[in-house]
Copies of this chain bind each other. A is one copy, B any other.
Amino acid sequence: MINAQAPRLLRALAGETLERPPVWFMRQAGRSLPEYRELRARAGDFISLAMNPEMAAEVTLQPVRRFPFDAAIIFADILLIPRALGQELWFEPGEGPRLGPLPPIRALADEVAASTERLSPVGETVARVRAELEPERALIGFAGGPWTVATYMIEGRGSQREAARAYAYVHRDELDALLDVLVEATARYLVLQARSGAQALQIFESWAENLAEDVFERVVIRPHTAIIEKVRAAGVTAPFIGFPRGAGALVEIYAEAAPVDCVGLDTQAPAALGRRLQAQGKTIQGALDNLLLRAGGPALDARVAQLLQQWGGGPYVFNLGHGVLPDTPIEHIGRVVAQVTGKPAKAAA
């Protein structure tokens, strides 16, 4: 059992049922905050910001200065790994990420060790944030799930997914080889984050949707398991949160098969499913609709109360089912965090 003085997030991830759950929000750092938008305007492009430890640490800390979140999550991007492996990455204004042509798998494989070197600024960001963050707040490191990252690498952008799903059938061996490279690079990257001070690690498998069970086992469960085993083999004991967004009923198979400490649930996870996972000893995290957070009003208050009631009786981390939308009023964020923690937001950042 973990120390009773440990950050609330870590106690929940260790399987404790607390008098009130810890709370943090996916994309809590970012465009919903005016102080982020101001810094972003000064920083130039997104990648420069993510790779600048001083600025990335500042962005990571902005939401925890404003709101009584129980954790900070490092400001980075899941596509820093393909970039570090040698695939060109840029952000098209107003449209999102774009990647250049997929390099040969062998060329990517040759860059694995170097990729972790190239990502050392993220390690420095982690160390800076951990030095400044209050001890009762946990620091979360993260990486994208290999399947999700691979879909970007194959399609070159985020808006299409069908080509990548077809690739899983038509270029089966190539996909498996690409996933193997990503598993290795991701494990090293997460070890870097943990050694720099990250106390919990989340795998964001943002596009686990529409996969048949056998494909899901191959491209999601197996790579996640391999990453965690590699990180553990490096001596890192930080708990893992696995978030296979869109996995639907397959999330129960994931929870049973992948050695994660906590399963992130998305917006459509039924109450009963979460309780089944808790009964099996998994901590769960989620799953407020980010559209309801943006909409606000009495329906938001009622849904937050319902989530606390339906899952608060077991090991639970309060979160959204997806990231904060950029146009979310910050008053709504403050209201929900206050409802969960009993602590109001600070008036200004």
Known interface pairs A209-B209, A249-B251, A273-B249. Does A216 touch B268 (Cβ–Cβ under 8 Å)?
Answer: yes
Chain A 201-243: CB-based contact to B (< 8 A → 1; otherwise 0): 0000000011111111000000000000000000000000000
Q: How far is the CA of A246 from the CA of B268 in the complex (A)?
A: 10
Of residues 250 to 306 in A, which have CB atoms within 8 Å of B's CB atoms? 250-253, 266-273, 287, 289, 291-292, 294-295, 297, 299, 303, 306
Q: Which of A21-29, A129-137, A162-170 contacts B (4 or more CB under 8 A)?
A: A162-170
Of A169, A210, A249, the most chain B CB neighbours within 10 A belong to A249
Residue in contact with A268 in the complex, picked from B210, B287, B321, CB distance below 8 Å: B210
A172 within 8 Å of B (CB atoms): yes
| Top 9 A-B pairs, shortest CB-CB distance | A248-B248, A169-B295, A249-B249, A166-B291, A212-B289, A249-B273, A213-B270, A248-B268, A170-B295
Oligomer copy total: 2
Listed A/B pairs (14) with beta-carbon separation below 8 Å: A165-B289, A166-B291, A169-B291, A210-B268, A212-B289, A212-B292, A213-B269, A213-B270, A215-B289, A246-B248, A247-B268, A248-B248, A249-B249, A249-B270
Total chain A interface residues with beta-carbon distance under 8 A: 41
Q: How far is the CA of A211 from the CA of B303 in the complex (A)?
A: 13
Whether A165 contacts B291 by the Cβ 8 Å rule is yes
Q: Give chain B nearest CB distance to A1 CB in angstroms.
A: 31
Whether B299 contacts A267 by the Cβ 8 Å rule is no
Whether A306 contacts B214 by the Cβ 8 Å rule is yes
Looking at chain A's contact residues, the main secondary structure is helix
Residues of B within 8 A of A165 (CB): 289, 291
Q: Give chain B nearest CB distance to A157 CB in angstroms.
A: 15
Residues of B within 8 A of A267 (CB): 210-212
